Amino acid sequence: MKKLTLYVAALLCLSGCATVQQEKTPSGDGKSIGTSIIGALNSSINAINSGLKNVNASQTAQNSSAQTQTQTQTQTPAPAPAPARTHLRDTELKDIISKSKSADWPRIALTINTLPNGFYDYGPQIGRGFSENYCINISITVWFDQKKSKSFDRMDFCGDDIVSDVPFYQVKHWGMTQKAFSGTTGSQRTTGPNPPELPFPNLPGNEGVLSHAGAYYLGSIMMVVGYNWREIFDARFWVVKVPTRAEMKQK
pLDDT computed for residue 21 by the predictor: 43
pLDDT digits (tens, 9 = 90+) for 151-208: 999 999 999 999 988 888 889 999 988 876 778 999 999 999 999 999 999 887 787 7
Buried b (16+ CB within 10 A) or exposed e, 164-195: eeeebeebbebbeeebebeebeeeebebbbbb
Instruction: Check whether 2 has a pLDDT greater than 80.
Output: no
Q: Residues 177, 234: contact at Cβ < 8 Å?
A: no
pLDDT digits (tens, 9 = 90+) for 81-138: 667 789 999 999 999 999 999 999 999 999 999 998 888 876 665 555 678 888 999 9
pLDDT digits (tens, 9 = 90+) for 9-58: 444 444 444 444 444 444 445 455 455 555 655 565 565 556 555 645 56
Better-predicted residue by pLDDT, 62 or 210: 210
| Residue 171, φ and ψ in degrees, nearest 5 | -60, -35
pLDDT computed for residue 19 by the predictor: 42
Q: How many angstroms separate the CA atoms of 227 and 239, rounded?
A: 13
pLDDT digits (tens, 9 = 90+) for 70-96: 555 556 677 666 677 899 999 999 999
What is the side-by-side order of every strand in the sheet holding 149-158?
149-158, 135-143, 107-114, 237-241
pLDDT digits (tens, 9 = 90+) for 53-76: 564 556 665 666 656 565 555 566
Q: Which of 240, 231, 137 is nearest to 192 (CA)?
A: 240
One DSSP character per residue, 41-81 reads: HHHHHHHHHHHHHHHHHHHHHHHHHHHHHHHHHH--PPPPP
